[in-house]
Amino acid sequence: MLDIIYWNADPVLFSFGPFAVRWYGLAFAVGFIIGYDIVARMFKHEGAPERWLGILLAYLVVATIVGARLGHVFFYQWDYYSQHPAEIFMIWEGGLASHGGTIANIIALFLFSWFVSKKPASWVFDKVVIPIALVGGLIRLGNLMNSEIYGGPTGLPWGFVFLRNGETVPAHPTQIYEALCYFLLFGLLMWMYWKKNAEERPWLITGVFFLGIFVPRFLIEYVKNVQVGSEYDMIARYGMNLGQMLSIPFIVLGVALVIWAMVHPRVKFTFPNHFADEKSPANSKKAKK
């Protein structure tokens, strides 16, 4: 049986001079490294050009950081940042919103499809969302190390007392709840791709991703602390906080994509031979003909 957990983790892994490596930043970096390797294996499996990987990574890194930051600024604390615009760029002080990152990544993947792959957007979406589920779980563990985004009081035996924030009452470790959900989703999506060839049903993996991310997020919000004071009025008026309201469109989208994928026939994308190995002299000659 677990007892109350007194949590006082140092958010800084190590520092040298004025620079510090934080657990949160490490979670981001590890997630992107593993995600890159997973997508690379998928590209190789399908014969897609390797050079697309670096371009795709750049799109996603920029979209994730910029989108998550702007999401926090505009969705949660615009009243403050509109008066302190210079602080919008101070990402190291915290303040990232997953909904903003999701919206920005959607835009980035459509741009990648239009300007780089020239394939239907579903082709890249159904790959990238798989490691994004893993990254989401790692980031929530980073939130745990930062002692942030936790829940309200609980009498459950796994309640965390977040000492760094001056708490004395056990609280729901909602970071762990979300991380576990996202890791399970990652496993499910990997199984769908590698064992069930679910990528041959465009948008199916993406639809399951949206459901697997935002349904748990919607439910866990009920035991999570309010992030900004303005949400109290929203809860009193609508019975939901901002995180839940922002999750609803993605849940609806997930249902729609799953239905669309299941009523349409399977599709198998193919690539010209020279895409599989662009450095091959033989293939280069074919490409010139």
DSSP assignment of 164-213 equals GGT--S-B--HHHHHHHHHHHHHHHHHHHHHHH-GGGSTTHHHHHHHHHH
Higher model confidence: residue 68 or residue 164?
164
Q: What is the mean pLDDT of the chain?
A: 88
How many Å is the maximal CA-CA distance in the chain? 73
Spatial distance between the Cα atoms of 259 and 209, rounded to a whole number of angstroms = 14
Give this prediction's pTM: 0.84
208-254 pLDDT, tens digit per residue, is 999 999 999 999 999 998 877 667 788 888 889 988 998 999 999 99
Mean pLDDT over 20-46 rounds to 92
Beta-carbon contacts of 91 under 8 Å, excluding residues fewer than 6 positions away, are 65, 69
Nearest 5°: CA angle at 147, between 141 and 153?
Answer: 105
Spatial distance between the Cα atoms of 9 and 25, rounded to a whole number of angstroms = 15
* Number of other residues whose CB lies within 10 A of the CB of residue 267: 12
Task: Specify the 3-state DSSP secondary structure of 171.
Answer: strand
Ramachandran region of residue 6, left (φ > 0), alpha (ψ -120 to 50) or beta?
A: beta
Residues facing 12 on adjacent strands? 22
Q: Is the pLDDT of residue 194 over 70?
A: yes
Are 8 and 163 in contact by the 8 Å Cβ rule? The answer is yes
134-187 pLDDT, tens digit per residue, is 999 999 999 999 999 999 999 999 999 999 999 999 999 999 999 999 999 999
Q: Is the pLDDT of residue 23 over 60?
A: yes
Q: Is the pLDDT of residue 1 over 80?
A: no
